[in-house]
C-alpha cells in the first residue's frame, strides 16, 4: 500500500547537498527493504514448462500477443530507489517495485477481471497459483510477494527516510 510522506524529495536534495554520506546510505537501506519482495516475486513466476504451450516463443511467429520466456520475465522484475516524475495529481514514488515485461504483466494480472476466461482456466489447470492482495493491488507474483511481506518493506522504507531526516537534523544542530 502506498504511504504519503511529505518533504521526502526535499530531504533527498538536502542530503545530497549537506551530507553526501547519508545521501548514499538512504538508497542502500531502501534497497535492502525491497530486495526480499523482488526475490520472492521471481520465485512465484512459472518456468517455461509450466505455462501453456501456445504462450511460448514460436519460430517465425508474427503474433502480437507477447510470448512467455521465464528468463526475460524474471529479469523484468526489479526495484528503484530514485524518485519518479510527478503523476497527474502531483504524487511521486520514492521507492517502487516493478515488472517491466509484457508477458510478466499478463501473468501477474490474468484473472483479475475475468477469472472464468478460457485462458485463465487453462493456465490454472496447468499451473495453479494464488492471487493475493485486494482489488487493484491483486496479483500472482509481485503483488503476492508484497502482500506476504506484511508491510515490513513499507515500514523499513519509512524508517529509513525518518532516520535519514533525524541524522541530517542532528548534523544541522551541531
pLDDT in tens, 116-166: 888 888 887 777 777 887 877 788 899 999 999 998 998 999 899 899 888
Domain boundaries, position 15: 8-57+69-173
**HEC string for 22-85:** HHHHHHHHHHHHHHHHHHHHHHHCCCHHHCCHHHECCCCCCCCCCCECHHHHHHCEEEECCCCC
- Tell me how long the chain is: 174
Which grid cell is 123? 493456465
pLDDT-above-90 percentage for the chain: 33
Q: In this predicted structure, what is the pLDDT of residue 57?
A: 75
Asked if the model's pLDDT at residue 37 lies above 90, the reply is: yes
In a domain, 3, yes or no: no
- pLDDT score, position 138: 81
pLDDT, residue 20, reads 86
- Check: pTM over 0.95? Answer yes or no: no
Q: Which pLDDT value is given to residue 174? A: 66
> Hey, what's the cell of 68?
512467455
Residue found under cell 501477474? 108
Q: Are 78 and 97 contacting, i.e. CB atoms less than 8 angstroms apart?
A: yes
Q: Look at residue 62 and tell me if it is in a domain.
A: no
94 located within any domain: yes
Count the Cβ atoms, other than its own, within 10 Å of residue 106: 17
Residue 2's pLDDT band, with cuts at 50, 70 and 90, is: low
* Per-residue model confidence (pLDDT) at position 168: 83
pLDDT of residue 36: 95
Question: What is the arithmetic mean of pLDDT over 70-82?
Answer: 94
pLDDT of 8 higher than 80: no
Q: Is the pLDDT of residue 72 over 90?
A: yes
- Residue among 98, 111, 103 at smallest CA distance from 46: 103
Domain count for the chain, please give it.
1
In a domain, 63, yes or no: no
Amino acid at each position: 500500500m502506498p504511504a504519503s510522506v511529505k518533504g521526502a524529495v526535499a530531504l533527498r536534495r538536502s542530503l545530497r547537498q549537506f551530507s553526501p554520506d547519508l545521501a548514499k546510505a538512504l538508497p542502500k537501506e531502501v534497497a535492502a527493504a525491497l530486495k526480499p519482495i523482488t526475490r520472492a516475486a521471481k520465485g512465484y513466476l512459472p518456468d517455461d514448462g509450466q505455462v501453456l504451450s501456445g504462450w511460448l516463443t514460436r519460430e517465425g511467429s508474427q503474433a502480437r500477443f507477447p510470448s512467455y520466456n521465464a528468463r526475460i520475465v524474471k529479469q523484468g522484475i526489479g526495484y528503484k530507489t530514485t524518485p519518479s516524475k510527478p503523476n497527474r495529481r502531483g504524487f511521486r514514488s520514492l521507492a517502487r517495485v516493478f515488472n517491466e515485461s509484457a508477458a510478466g504483466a499478463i501473468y501477474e494480472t490474468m484473472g483479475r477481471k475475468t477469472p472464468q476466461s478460457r485462458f485463465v482456466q487453462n493456465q490454472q489447470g496447468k499451473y495453479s497459483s494464488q492471487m493475493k492482495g485486494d482489488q487493484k493491488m491483486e496479483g500472482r507474483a509481485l503483488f503476492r510477494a508484497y502482500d506476504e511481506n506484511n508491510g515490513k518493506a513499507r515500514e523499513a522504507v519509512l524508517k529509513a527516510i525518518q532516520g535519514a531526516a533525524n541524522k541530517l537534523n542532528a548534523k544541522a544542530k551541531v
